[in-house]
Amino acid sequence: MIVTSLLCGLGAFILFLEFGEATGLTWIDVFRAVLILISTLWLAWGATLAFVGMTSRARPPEGVEDAPIRGRTCVLMPVYNENPEESFSRVAAMEASLREIGDPAEIHFAILSDTRDEGIAAQERAVFRRMVEECDGVGRFFYRRREKNTGKKAGNIEDFITRSGAAYDYAVILDADSLMEGKTILTMIRRMEAEPQLGLLQTLPKIIRAESHFGRAMQFSASFFSPVFARGLAMVQGRTGPFWGHNAIINVRAFAQSCGLPELKGAPPFGGHVMSHDYVEAALLARNGWIVRLDDDLEGSFEEGPENIVDHAKRDRRWCQGNLQHLRIISAPGLKPWSRFVFAQGVMAFIAPLFWMGFIAASIAAPLLVTPPDYFPVPGWPFPQFPQSAASMAISLAIGIFGLLFLPKLLIMARAILSGEAKRFGGPGRVFLSTLGELLLSSLTAPVLMMFTIRSVLEVLMRRDGGWPTNNRGDGILQWPEAFAASWWIIVTGCGGLFAAWFLTPELFLWLLPVGVPMILAPALLRWGSLPSLGKLMITPAEQSPQRVIQLYDAVLARWGVDAQSSIPVVPLRLPEKDGVKV
Amino acid sequence: MALSMAYGTIATDDAILHVGASGGEVAVPFVGRGFPDEACALPAAPLPMPTQMIEADAGLLHRLLRRLRGGGAVRPSMDVGA
């Protein structure tokens, strides 16, 4: 895969050099060719992951599905200023899901609160009491709140392990918006027990309950495209797999032995506590000889996503700082080469837009930096000597780059239609239109997201700490003033870029419109993306036939009188009773 | 975490919400709680989590140069031939 990506990058590099040579090669052409090389390399890596994912199948371990469970597990939900009714109702739903299928394991639930807001903390205590009473959870449900949230989420988990870790063999780590089927949790425990060297098992969470145009596009993408990319990732990373910080199970002793994180020297953003701790923990487990595996065949793992581009960008800002901080860790002693590669990949995910933007800026400014070609090289000779046509090379390059962007998704769509998988997503017609819609929307939002990413990277490089903002998990509708306030600078950049292209390189003007126009329309995109989607596209299996834990979650929310803000109808339940307590 | 794990005790100011069977709430310091006797308090079962070395003492380039210069071998701290 690395070789294929390198070949793609080199191909683009050489093609661009030849294109430049047609009008006389200059240093700016070489500079742009290098930028194209790096950008294409990154695109090709993503595309090859998809191809590997499409051509391989998960092989779940055999003979472990019904094995008896010996170990004790604690399901951990770290919370930080979240809505306790929404978060805790997920815990209640998971517990009910486990109870429905018999729950042959000893499983406890711990709410690990890092909430700073005293009002929310009081609500947490009230909702917890109610949950314990309703679920008959005395002795199985725990709540503790730290006075200081040292180390953020990683510190929260570490605090649990250092206090109570020896009581458990495994811990399922969640986010406040995580939801997992009881059956999935049991399967994860069984797989851990079947392979004692397994230190961490990661599932692929699917996004649910999205309502906005942007949120539903992300949700569709996560359900339809992501499993293929994740399959590729699982194949490539093998025993040095990824950890995404939630919807995963750990071997508690392996984690304790390997994952005590220090504070990095210096101040944030590059120093201080490790922000993207999950990547580091996966690397440290692998360093200690533990297996870290992504089992992408496991269904019944869910999370919620941002409902608008601004919330997405805020989350990306945090991830950006965390990933760039990995530059401090990438050369840590003893890490597996693949772990170092993952760190580099994480950094590249955020700096790649800089290369694209650099390429565009260099292309617009080229006439200012180099002498334009002389079409009348012979003095006195009246006829110009035009260079040989480079149009075919430029078009080949453009087709190649767009191919790397779009081809994987189109192939995934074709495979789903041919294999019948499309039925789960509303049928072939809807899958076709949803894929085209997703490609269109992602193309329109790409320049805006690129600008947000570039700003994040520059802020980190200027050593500005982004802090640890709470995730906004509300309806997320952006009003026009909010959309303008968040994106005025993108409009200015887009107008400036097109204005400069019009005067400096008018031949590029049309080519730059797909980038410049979405930037100028950024407020409209932000606003429209955040509005509720009323369309019939972007359907996911979780919407078509909600899995049991989603139904249970809706039932708990309805019982607690919480507005579910979901398009999924509440299904009337007939649940079993345990010790006289209704589930 | 600033936990004094070395002596088997945990000293923090945190409190555990203890929900009894009656639904009553008691905030108890998390010291010496047994498991599973105290049904609703987190079990007091400390597990040490040693801090890992995740920062190299120098960057990749520095280490490469050092290796090239010194061959990566450990050098004696005194002139053993003297």
Within-domain flag for A294 = yes
DSSP string, A408-462: HHHHHHHHHHHHTGGGGGT-HHHHHHHHHHHHHHHHHHHHHHHHHHHHHHHHHHT
B22 touches chain A (CB under 8 A): no
Return d(Cα A373, Cα A20) in angstroms, integer: 11
Return d(Cα A443, Cα A219) in angstroms, integer: 16
Question: Which helix (H) or strand (E) segment is A99 a member of?
Answer: helix A84-100
Within-domain flag for A266 = yes
Q: What dihedral do alpha carbons A171, A471, A325, A6 form, nearest 10°?
A: 90
Per the structure, the complete domain to which residue A190 belongs is given by 72-339
- For A492-522, what is each residue's pLDDT tens digit? 999 999 999 999 988 889 989 999 999 999 9
- For A267-297, what is each residue's pLDDT tens digit? 989 999 999 999 999 999 999 999 999 999 9
Of A138, A146, A259, the CB nearest to B19: A138
**Partner-chain contact A166 B10, CB within 8 Å:** no
Share of chain A above pLDDT 90, in %: 65
pLDDT of amino acid A292: 97
Q: What is the DSSP letter of B51?
A: B
**Partner-chain contact B40 A328, CB within 8 Å:** no
Tell me what the mean pLDDT of segment A553-561 comes to. Answer: 92
Within-domain flag for A577 = no
B2 touches chain A (CB under 8 A): yes
Q: At what angle do helices A428-461 and A480-504 cross, to 10 degrees?
A: 80
Of A144, A265, A331, the CB nearest to B16: A144
Within-domain flag for B26 = yes
Per the structure, the complete domain to which residue B59 belongs is given by 5-70
- For A77-122, what is each residue's pLDDT tens digit? 999 999 999 999 999 999 999 999 886 788 999 999 999 999 999 9
Within-domain flag for B76 = no
Task: Give the pLDDT band of residue A404 (cuts 50, 70, 90).
Answer: confident
B40 touches chain A (CB under 8 A): yes
Tell me what the mean pLDDT of segment A132-156 comes to. Answer: 88
Q: Six-digit token pair at A156?
A: 């929260």
State the burial class of residue A349 (Cβ atoms within 10 Å of its Cβ: 0-12, 13-18, 19+). middle
Within-domain flag for A254 = yes
Within-domain flag for B78 = no
If you measure CA to CA, which chain A residue comes closest to B32? A163
Q: How far is CA A34 from the centre of its chain?
A: 28
Within-domain flag for A12 = no
Chain B residues whose CB is inside 8 A of the A331 CB are 56, 59-60, 63
**Partner-chain contact A332 B21, CB within 8 Å:** no
Task: Give the pLDDT band of residue A372 (cuts 50, 70, 90).
Answer: low
Task: Give the pLDDT band of residue A374 (cuts 50, 70, 90).
Answer: low
| Helix and strand numbers, DSSP H then E, in chain A | 19, 12
Within-domain flag for A280 = yes
Tell me the whole-structure pTM to 2 decimals. 0.84
pLDDT of amino acid A507: 84
ipTM value: 0.82
Within-domain flag for B35 = yes
Of A129, A147, A166, the CB nearest to B19: A129
Chain A residues whose CB is inside 8 A of the B45 CB are 163-168
Within-domain flag for A16 = no
Angle at A464 between CA A458 and CA A469, to 5 degrees: 105
**Partner-chain contact A262 B56, CB within 8 Å:** no
Number of domains in chain B: 1
Residue written as token pair 């910080």: A245
Number of domains in chain A: 1
CATH code, domain carrying A195: 3.90.550.10
Of A138, A142, A264, the CB nearest to B42: A142
Using DSSP, state whether A78 is helix, strand or coil.
strand
Of B2, B17, B56, the CB nearest to A144: B17
Phi first, then psi: what are they for A144, rounded to 5°? -145, 145
**Partner-chain contact B19 A164, CB within 8 Å:** no
Within-domain flag for A63 = no
Query: Hey, which of A164-168, A193-197, A460-464, B38-42 has the most confident mean pLDDT?
Result: A193-197
Chain A residues whose CB is inside 8 A of the B17 CB are 125, 128, 143-145
Cis peptide bond prior to A387, omega within 30° of 0? no
Chain A residues whose CB is inside 8 A of the B16 CB are 142-144
